[in-house]
Amino acid sequence: MIGVAVVGLGEIGQFHLPAVRQHPDANLIAVCDLDIDLAACSAQTGEIASDDLASLLERPDIDVVDICLPHNLHLPVALQALVAGHDVLIEKPMAIGLAGCQEILDAAGTAGKQVAVSHNQLFYQPHVKLIELAASGALGQLQTIRARLGIGGKYGAWRTDPERVGGGLLMDAGAHRIYMLLALGGAVRNVSAVMDNPRAEDRFVVTLEFESGAIGVADGSYHGPDGVFDDRIEVFGQLGLAEVSGCEAFFEGYLPEGARLRRFEDGVWSDLAVFGSWDESVRNSVQAALSAFASGAVPPVDGRAGYETIRVIEAAYEAAQSGSSVEL
């Protein structure tokens, strides 16, 4: 049994709590937030509610610190937890900047502890199947992969502050687009990008040239009409096409029906009966990391995967600022 503390009990923290509580090999020991009232009402009987992370880190019954904080706090809190001898699960993005990710990897190596990053959309069943389909060769040689993000209205609070986000939309919800492209397309050779205001962007188009020769495009924009949340993904191969109509789109109420994975093959579109939900993907992502921590295995999305995602995002910022593509 592993003891877990969840730090940051806002929007996503509230989805991590049940995932931890429902894991058969995990005990939720403590919930922590600067807002002690929020901590108190988030804790269930027997769980400690705290606004003092430092004292929680001294507890021998806590093995894992699950970090659901604004991006600028991922690095300092992860380092604090690792140095105190805990494994860490970090919400996306792993940290602001590549140097921060490397510091976390180094600290984990020194402490002999594990790092997992919650790239939850990798655990969304239609995405799991899409990745399997692309990797199986059933779609033939992949030509283009497109991941969209169209949001009707800008996120608020700390997410409007580029210092705390570490950028704009790309570093925030755009991180999901980038790790999905990496999962579908593999290693990246070259990154180019156009943005309205790099590192405080409300709009971006990032183009990836994969080692395989395929091309990936992630595009994102705030400021759509109210109610829009378009996060579809399309894979175009020489033998077939496949697309997932949305993930968070369903959770946000933008798409009315259940999630769909469709495939075009032999001249016709067919629905693959694969369903899932965004909230289930968060639960599966958290629980997969906890299972790895409990068994001593390497987490399925480890610190190296978090690092690779930030490497592409940082290259995109550099490309957008310089106007030249960046070799990885």
Q: Which residues lie near ligand NAD (CB under 6 A)?
A: 7-13, 32-35, 38, 53, 68-71, 73, 91-92, 120, 157-158, 172, 282
Q: Nearest approach, Cβ of 37 to ligand NAD (angstroms)? A: 10
Query: What is the distance between the alpha carbons of residues 175 and 182, in angstroms, rounded to a whole number?
Result: 11
Task: Determine the longest span between alpha carbons in the chain, in angstroms.
Answer: 62
Q: Which is nearer to ligand NAD, 158 or 275 (CB)?
A: 158
Q: Which is nearer to ligand NAD, 95 or 326 (CB)?
A: 95
Indicate the residue whose CB is closest to ligand NAD. 10
Q: Nearest approach, Cβ of 68 to ligand NAD (angstroms)? A: 5
For residue 93, is the peptide bond before it cis, meaning its omega torsion is within 30 degrees of 0?
Answer: yes
Instruction: For residue 11, give the nearest of 38, 30, 46, 40 by alpha carbon.
Output: 38
Q: Nearest approach, Cβ of 243 to ligand NAD (angstroms)? A: 20
Instruction: For residue 276, give the nearest of 253, 260, 254, 256 by alpha carbon.
Output: 260
**What is the sign, positive or negative, of the torsion defined by CA atoms of 311, 313, 316, 322?**
negative
Q: Which is nearer to ligand NAD, 83 or 187 (CB)?
A: 83
Q: Which residues pair with 27 in a beta bridge?
A: 3
Q: Which is nearer to ligand NAD, 208 or 247 (CB)?
A: 247
Q: Which is nearer to ligand NAD, 120 or 221 (CB)?
A: 120
E-strand ranges in 126-246 read: 142-151, 188-195, 203-210, 215-221, 229-230, 233-237, 241-244
Q: Nearest approach, Cβ of 209 to ligand NAD (angstroms)? A: 27
Q: Nearest approach, Cβ of 265 to ligand NAD (angstroms)? A: 31
Instruction: For residue 130, give the nearest of 261, 237, 26 by alpha carbon.
Output: 261
Q: Which is nearer to ligand NAD, 157 or 187 (CB)?
A: 157
Q: Nearest approach, Cβ of 213 to ligand NAD (angstroms)? A: 31
